[in-house]
Amino acid sequence: MKHYFLGLAGNYTRKRRLKHIFSIGRKRDCLELEEFLEKKYGGEAVLCKNGRSALALALKSYFNRGDGILVNGFTCYAVYEAIKSAGLVPIFVDIEKSDLNFSVNTLKKALTNSVGAGTSRPATPKGIIVQNTLGNPVDINEIEKFAKKYGLLIVEDLAHCAGVKYSDGREAGTIGVATALSFGKDKSIDTISGGVAILRHPCKNKIEAPTKLPKLSDTLRARFYPLFGAMTRGLTRVRLGGIFMRVLLKLRFVEKSADNKLDLERRIAKFQAKLGLEQLKNLKKSGESPIREFYLINNRDEALKKLKKNGYYLDGFWYEKPVSPERYYKKVHFPEKDCPTSVEVAEKIVNLPTFYSKEELAPARKIIKEYLDDGE
């Protein structure tokens, strides 16, 4: 029986795990990563502690405090935190079921009711964050026309979609005034944590680049997480995996992704810069970025129990709420009435890991299809 995890470095082979733990990075690795990204995406690359820090830095560079930012109504808390940290106002936009992205139609609706989350006052939209949810690209040509018409700046968040190409052949990350990359767990580029902001156009505001090294505790957690993930998966076979992970969390040997604090003063660790560059080069060679396959199902709790009985642990399905994880949801003040599709999708979605073959996941698909939503 195989066990699948979305959030426990499940895509790390034994060879990759050992390489991650024992890799040694140097200053030149950081410089090479910057040079590679600047050539790939254009602009200035700024190495950051994590993806949300990179996104916050990009937003602070182009927008003024109090500006409204249109953002996907189906996203993660890290995006919300980055917007708030930049002193901006998030305006959530409802999505389409087909690709989990906003469309020009839902963007237009959001403009007519541009009340920021957690406020009662309208916020003037000045920008759009394009995230290409789960690797599914937006209709970028229509989004660009919309942005130009209303004087909005586009910032691309590549946490889900490094390497993805839009329908017109342009690569995600080359369109907006700025791009934010995340190297977090199970992202397109995965070094457990880390991020990069690419500032492509002249910045409105001068922001100091992070200069401090990461905390030793953060570096050690990132370095050994793949080992702890492998140990947890092994112990799950004797029903001790959950207990072991809870102990690691209690001792702070492991940190949940959503708890990785935003910090605009610290940079990515050197060994992660080295590993991130290697993955980016491999991504370029393959020309592909995995799109996470998703389904909308009924009776999700029942389906997940059945999947677990068959060895598929898909509890980390993204997302329990429109803005995930659930433990931070109340802080967001999400406008559920304005984003009904986002709410519905969060109640029904299940998605599959990208790092297993179609054959390995075939039994899981068969179970999931028993519960498919009638509209699918």
CB–CB of 51/78 below 8 Å? yes
Domain ranges for the chain: 14-199, 294-369
pLDDT for res 37: 97
What secondary structure does DSSP assign to 29-91, as a single string? HHHHHHHHHHHHH-SEEEEESSHHHHHHHHHHHH--TT-EEEEESSEEHHHHHHHHHTT-EEE
- 89's enclosing H/E stretch is strand 89-93
How many C-beta neighbours within 10 Å does residue 237 have? 11
Q: What is the pLDDT of residue 121?
A: 57
- What does the buried/exposed string (b/e) look like for 354-372 if buried means 16 or more CB atoms within 10 Å of the residue's CB? bbeeeeebeebeebbeebe
Confidence band of 229 (pLDDT split at 50, 70, 90)? confident
pLDDT, average across residues 255-259: 86
Residue 114 CA, distance from chain mean position: 24
DSSP 327: G
- The arithmetic mean of pLDDT across residues 267-279, rounded, is 96
Phi/psi at 120 (nearest 5 deg)?
Answer: -115, 5
pLDDT tens across 148-178, in order? 999 999 999 999 899 899 999 999 999 999 9
Distance CA 260, CA 330 (A): 19
pLDDT bracket for residue 1 (50, 70, 90): very low
- The C-alpha atoms of residue 333 and residue 366 are separated, in whole angstroms, by 37
Please provide the size of the chain in residues: 376
CA 71 distance to own-chain centroid? 13
Class of 14-199 in CATH: alpha beta
Confidence (pLDDT) at 314? 77
